[in-house]
Amino acid sequence: MPVAIIDGQPLHYVDQGTGPVVLLGQSYLWDRDMWEPQISALSKYYRVIVPELWGHGESGQMPEQNASLDDLARQALLLLNHLAIDKINLVGLSVGGMWGARLALKVPGRINSLVLMDTYLGAEPDATREYYFSLLKTIEDMGYFPENLLDIVAPIFFRPGIDRESALYKNFRHSLTRFSTERLRDSIVPLGRHTFGRSDILNQLPHLNAGTTLVMCGEEDQPRPPAEAKEMAELIGCPLVLIPDAGHICSRENPEFVNGALLTFLASHN
């Protein structure tokens, strides 16, 4: 994987295909494999860039100066400048959409189109924020994901009816055990606190370009339910697409539907 030094740390990224650029922003606790079906489908027509979050995949430790999701947006812009890329189509899922929308608001002239998937630009509701913070404290204190926490965290990312013996579920659950204590404490936990302690920017959504924005959400997404997606689409004034048979990581649970929707949307904006 190619690497760029951003804020003093190595940021690894996928760079595959040629054509207009599509930047894919991933979910917390997932690496580039979250986008594997989309990389394969989109790179036939586009240049696909997938930066791995700090502490995830092959990327290095989260830089010490990171204080909020605004820093992730700023660092994505540094990557684009490093690659001499002027305009992108940005597709962000979960935290990828949270920093992706911030980037689109910061430099609208660099964004050709924007897809916000299974994400929310409001603040985390108080009850869930405190719940997630308690889980992060447990991970920080223990330095690993204990079995009982794996049974809590892994299902959050999938539709309730997923086969827990499936390779998709089992591989993700196992991937959580591979984070080192150092990565958890230096990157994963603080990034989680930035994500779940994020500021509310719903009042800025009307500033996004409604004509070049799409909101998508898994019909069975538990942490980011369709009601949130509907609220954002209405604030932006853009279309909303609900993805059947999919929870939070719709890119892996219903990749055929997601690929079709993305290719249709991108074709009409490039």
- The per-residue pLDDT for 161 is 93
Placement of tokens 């394969």 in the chain: 40
- The per-residue pLDDT for 85 is 98
Domain boundaries, the chain: 3-123+200-267
115 Cβ partners below 8 Å, 6+ apart? 89, 90, 91, 92, 213, 214, 215, 216, 262, 265
- The per-residue pLDDT for 140 is 98
Q: Which of 22, 71, 28, 27 lies closest to 214, judged by CA?
A: 22
pTM metric for this prediction: 0.98
Mean predicted confidence (pLDDT) in 89-111 = 98
Backbone angles phi, psi at 48, to 5 degrees: -105, 125
- Dihedral over alpha carbons 152, 216, 133, 13 (to 10 degrees): 90
Q: State pLDDT tens for residues 16-31.
A: 999 999 999 999 999 9
* Tokens at 127, concatenated: 């009850």
Q: State pLDDT tens for residues 31-79.
A: 999 999 999 999 999 999 999 999 999 999 999 999 999 999 999 999 9
* Tokens at 74, concatenated: 């700023």
Q: State pLDDT tens for residues 247-269.
A: 999 999 999 999 999 999 999 99
Placement of tokens 């924020």 in the chain: 129
- The per-residue pLDDT for 64 is 94
**What's the chain's average pLDDT?**
98
Q: State pLDDT tens for residues 114-171.
A: 999 999 999 999 999 999 999 999 999 999 999 999 999 999 999 999 999 999 999 9
* Tokens at 136, concatenated: 């992060």
- The per-residue pLDDT for 174 is 98
Give the C-alpha separation, 169 to 164, whole Å: 6
Q: Angle formed by the axes of helices 69-82 and 95-106, to 10°?
A: 70
- The per-residue pLDDT for 256 is 98
Q: Output 36-42 pairs: Cβ under 8 A, ≥24 positions apart.
A: 36/252, 37/251, 37/252, 37/255, 37/258, 37/259, 38/91, 38/251, 38/255, 38/258, 38/259, 38/262, 39/14, 41/255, 41/259, 41/262, 41/263, 42/17, 42/259, 42/262, 42/263, 42/266
CATH 3.30.420.10 for domain 3-123+200-267: no
Beta strands 9-16 and 213-218, pairing class? unpaired
Q: State pLDDT tens for residues 177-230.
A: 999 999 999 999 999 999 999 999 999 999 999 999 999 999 999 999 999 999
Placement of tokens 């799409």 in the chain: 214
